[in-house]
Structure 1
Amino acid sequence: MNTTRATRTRRLTAAAALVLATGCGTLHASDADARPTPSTPTKTPCPGEHPTPSASSTAPGVTPEPGDHYAENHGFRVPLQLRGRPRCAGLAVAARIEKALEPLRERGDFAPAHTRAALLGLGYPEGAVQTYQNGPTGVGFLVLADDTPLLCVEGGLDRAATHATAFGGYPDHSGCDMPSGGH
């Protein structure tokens, strides 16, 4: 009887190990009913948007080396991505701003004061708009488009293009401007 009990225990242990090793309860690509689980992020396109690959959350041009804490120490400078309805609102605001500034670019008008006037003409209050010279033939801007929830738009125009990008502010910071220090 001890042999039977020992054999049964070994079989149960082997079965439990197999279940744990194969990920009991997980769906595989070969499963006919495979659907995204709640933990799987899905990106639903906003109206007028074409699906594109998602961008990395690492700051552009920063490839952290093992043991390098640059990205970790400068994470407070990485803008917060918008998700869901705020993301769609941000895309709409960015497109509206690009449309309003494109005539300036086409005329070759890269004066920060004219860019500011065009942004104020969209209805943003004085304190919500910043413009600055960006090189000899370019203008940069930052707009606080909404404060509940925080919706920021930054971008610029130069001879090549007009561009605007929406984001949700910065971690540990209440405004749209890039913080100068973290925690």
Structure 2
Amino acid sequence: MTTSRKTKAGLGLLSWAAVALLAAGCGTQRAENPAEAYRRTHPTPTGISTPSTPKDYRCPGESPRSTPPTAATTSGSTVPPTDHYAENHGFRNPLPLHGKSRCEGLAAVGRIKTALEPLRRRGDFAPDRVRGALTGLGYSTDKVRAYQDGSAGVGFLIDIGASPWCVEGTMGRNFTKADAFGGYPDGTGCEPPSGGH
């Protein structure tokens, strides 16, 4: 009789211990992130690479001394600003081109500078003339914008339209500058966005 009571008491105590242990563990397991669950159940097949930082290489006609920009290259100080100005205005920084697109951009910049050089030498800084020289290269008239930039210069912006692919620059008495870029982080075209996050 004593053994039966001890067994029942032991089982009762064991049952309460098991319930307490299970109750203590309830709610501590978190729901799995849907993206992680998908990756776990749908692993990347062998032979398919995942996106990485694009590699840049020297483009045809590019000087061996110049080094292509990389995604890790940043301008300015490495110390984070205390007022978050750079962070809050990052949407205004154009996206760099990489790989083949970068080489095509450099080639387009070269053609544009060559087309504008006769105007610059003559001192012809009329936006209509600059626009005419750029559309003469085959760029669509509705995708080329030229405007007065200061008292003795003209600025231009060309929307090449390839996902986007843009060329922007200025021409003054002593120089012609142009840069190719891939649009803006928060924009849908070549025009700088008016507001960010």
Using the size of structure 1 for normalisation, the TM-score is 0.71
Letter in 1 for 2:154: V
2:182 alignment counterpart? 168
Deviation of 1:62 after TM superposition, in Å, equals 7.5
CA distance in 2 between partners of 1:105 and 1:115 (Å)? 10
The 4+ residue runs of structure 1 with deviation greater than 2 A are 39-43, 53-58, 61-68
Instruction: Pick from 131, 138, 155 the counterpart of residue 169 of structure 2.
Output: 155
Contact 1:77 1:179 in 2 (8 A): yes
1:99 alignment counterpart? 114
Structure 1 gaps of 5+ residues are 1-38
CA distance in 2 between partners of 1:120 and 1:135 (Å)? 23
Deviation of 1:150 after TM superposition, in Å, equals 1.6
Letter in 2 for 1:89: E
Deviation of 1:149 after TM superposition, in Å, equals 2.8
Check if 1:71 corresponds to 2:100. Answer: no
Contact 2:60 2:103 in 1 (8 A): yes
Deviation of 1:148 after TM superposition, in Å, equals 2.5
Contact 1:86 1:149 in 2 (8 A): no
2:194 alignment counterpart? 180
Using the size of structure 2 for normalisation, the TM-score is 0.66
Deviations 1:126-164 (A, max 9, x none): 21001110111100000012x233210000111111121
Deviation of 1:63 after TM superposition, in Å, equals 7.6
Check if 1:108 corresponds to 2:95. Answer: no
CA distance in 1 between partners of 2:189 and 2:153 (Å)? 24
1:133 alignment counterpart? 148
Q: CA RMSD of the aligned region, Å?
A: 2.1
Letter in 2 for 1:57: T
- Matched residue count: 142
Contact 2:127 2:147 in 1 (8 A): yes
Letter in 2 for 1:139: V
Task: Assess, with a 3 A threshold, how the Cα gap between structure 1 residues 157 and 62 changes in structure 2: closer, same or farther.
Answer: farther
Letter in 1 for 2:74: S
